[in-house]
Structure formats: structure tokens, C-alpha cells
């Protein structure tokens, strides 16, 4: 299955953002710490030019900590880029980010000269949650579905910083289907554009190869399944995804597995690492899909 997803409002938002960036001092790009490359938008590099950029590795509490440290080192090799892992829900982490913005552009943030910060990120990376935490109140709309924010707004934090919120946008060309599948596994792509069975099998194959013990422990499996399909069947049986005759509903099992993966119930995992190959081999769908 090829994943394609690019809601119409995203193209218009991209044009407005490119124009707005000219008046911005610092760009905050919110990434999913579990898949920082796949959850980044390569168009930002073209739009930001030489503007300072802070890469926020959000949901770091769900990611493999050793891999997150490697990503911080990776991003900070680029000129003008600083990386910081955090959880957008935590006020303590938000304060660290504010101090980093002030340190990045110390000549701004004074009366009449506000520090102008744009918050940028693809859908479901936690951009709106971060803005609400920074503001100390609910300003940006938050939801468990991607593409919630559709218009930009400015928020005065009353500390010398003015935030510009932006819609979460993907890039129209999704030729990297490995990245597209990782995005789908994380919940960043709308349900209408994906097949839960295919994405669940993709995620199961990765987990068996990278975090096999977490899978065994979470689902109390006596031995590790040899294939992704066998893993989804075993997980489905543990989670009660059964139909008449005791057969496993593979679609329901894959969907339940992805929900647990996204919520961190299986453990702290990263779906990609710096320097690794990111190709995609689509797993074959086997078993019942009712």
C-alpha cells in the first residue's frame, strides 16, 4: 500500500509561512523524538534560510533515551541549529525552551522589540500542546487526529516573546515510503490515508528486529514470533481481537497494537536512528482481516 496524504489547506499554509518567516527571529521546529527525520519537513530548510532554528524533540518520554541523545548530536552539527529533547506537556521543559530562545537571540525580547518566534511542525508532533504549555493556558486547539490547526495566530507570552502558531503541514511528495510508514505508525497521518493492517505489520516487523524483548514482555509471549504476521496474531489473541470460531481479526489486532505503540505502553522506543538505512519493505498481509 502506498501512503499519500496532503490535505488542501496545507499548500496554502506553506505559502503564508514562507512569507511570515521573513519577520521571525527564531524558528522552533517540533519533531517527534521517536522519528525526528521522518517527522521533519525538508521544506523548512529552504524557507528558514539563515534564521536560527531550535529542533524540539518532543515526546522524548516515549523515545529510546540513548537514541535521542544521538539525534541531538546529529542535528547540532548543522550551523544555526540547536536541539533539545522535552515533553511538551511539562511546564519545566517549556521554561527551558523559553530560556533557550532568549539565549539564541539575546538582543530581542525588550520593550518595543519582542522576540518573534514561529512554531513549526508537521501534524501530531505536539506543536499545539507545546504552545498551550508555553502560554500557560489553552490557546491552540489540540486533538488526537492530525491536521487540527488550520490557521495561524499570534500569541503574546507576556515575557518579551511573541509566538506565531502555524498549521501542521506535510510535504506533497511522499516518495520516501519508509518515512511515510513511520509517520503512519506514529499517528501523524490521517486514518483515511492508511491501511491499519499494513502499517501494523510494518511496525511489528520493526519492533521484532529492534525491540524484541519489549514485545515479549508487554504481551507475555513465551517465545518471540518469527514474522510480523505471527506477532500481530499473537498480540491480537492477547488483546481479545477475536471473531467467531476463535479466529483473529487482523485489522483490529493491528489497530490495537498501533494504539499501544503510540501511547508508549510497549516501552520507550525510537523508530529511526541517525545514519541508518530507511528503506521500506512492505510486509505481506496474511491471516484474517475482518
The pLDDT value recorded for residue 154 is 86
| Segment 135-169, tens digit of pLDDT | 988 876 554 444 444 445 789 999 999 998 876 66
DSSP of 73-89, one letter per residue? Answer: HHHTTSTTEEEEE--TT
The pLDDT value recorded for residue 24 is 92
Least confident of 41-50, 135-144, 196-205, 210-219: 135-144
The answer to whether domain 8-165 has CATH 3.40.630.10 is: no
The two domains 8-165 and 195-263 share their CATH topology (first three levels equal): no
Q: What residues contact 278, with CB distance under 8 A and at least 6 apart?
A: 37, 38, 176, 178, 179, 272
> Strand 53-58 and strand 153-156: pairing?
unpaired
Q: With pLDDT > 70 as the criterion, what percentage of the chain qualifies?
A: 82
| Segment 159-202, tens digit of pLDDT | 999 998 876 665 545 567 888 899 899 988 877 778 999 999 99
Burial of 137 (0-12, 13-18, 19+ CB in 10 A): exposed
Q: Which of 6, 44, 9 is nearest to 149 (CA)?
A: 9
The pLDDT value recorded for residue 266 is 97
C-alpha 205/C-alpha 199 separation (Å) is 10
The pLDDT value recorded for residue 111 is 86
The pLDDT value recorded for residue 141 is 55
Architecture of domain 195-263: Orthogonal Bundle (1.10)
pTM: 0.84
pLDDT average, residue stretch 51-68: 96
In the chain, where the domains are located: 8-165, 195-263
pLDDT average, residue stretch 17-46: 87
Amino acid at each position: 500500500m502506498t501512503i499519500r496524504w496532503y490535505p488542501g489547506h496545507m499548500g496554502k499554509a506553506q505559502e503564508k509561512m514562507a512569507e511570515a518567516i521573513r519577520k521571525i527571529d527564531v524558528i522552533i521546529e517540533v519533531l517527534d523524538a521517536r522519528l525526528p527525520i521522518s517527522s521533519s519537513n525538508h521544506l523548512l530548510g529552504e524557507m528558514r534560510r539563515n534564521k536560527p532554528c531550535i529542533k524540539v524533540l518532543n515526546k522524548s518520554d516515549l523515545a529510546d533515551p540513548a537514541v535521542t541523545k544521538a539525534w541531538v548530536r546529529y542535528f547540532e552539527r548543522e550551523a544555526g541549529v540547536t536541539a533539545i529533547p522535552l515533553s511538551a506537556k511539562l511546564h519545566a521543559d517549556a521554561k527551558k525552551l523559553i530560556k533557550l530562545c532568549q539565549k539564541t537571540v539575546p538582543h530581542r525580547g525588550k520593550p518595543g522589540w519582542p522576540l518573534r518566534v514561529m512554531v513549526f511542525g508537521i501534524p501530531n508532533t505536539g506543536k499545539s500542546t507545546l504552545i498551550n504549555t508555553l502560554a500557560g493556558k489553552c490557546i491552540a486547539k489540540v486533538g488526537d487526529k492530525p491536521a487540527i490547526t488550520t490557521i495561524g495566530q499570534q500569541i503574546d507570552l507576556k515575557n518579551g516573546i511573541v509566538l506565531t502558531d502555524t498549521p501542521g503541514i506535510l510535504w506533497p511528495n511522499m516518495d520516501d515510503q519508509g518515512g511515510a510508514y513511520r509517520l503512519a505508525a506514529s499517528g501523524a497521518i490521517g486514518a483515511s490515508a492508511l491501511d491499519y493492517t499494513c502499517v501494523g505489520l510494518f511496525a511489528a516487523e520493526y519492533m521484532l528486529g529492534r525491540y524484541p524483548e519489549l514485545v515479549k514482555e508487554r504481551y507475555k509471549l513465551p517465545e518471540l514470533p518469527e514474522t510480523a504476521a505471527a506477532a500481530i496474531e499473537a498480540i491480537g489473541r492477547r488483546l481479545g481481537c477475536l471473531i467467531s470460531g476463535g479466529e483473529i481479526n487482523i485489522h483490529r489486532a493491528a489497530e490495537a497494537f498501533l494504539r499501544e505503540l503510540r501511547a508508549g505502553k510497549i516501552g520507550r522506543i525510537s523508530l529511526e536512528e541517525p545514519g541508518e538505512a530507511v528503506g521500506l519493505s512492505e510486509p505481506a498481509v496474511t491471516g484474517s482481516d475482518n
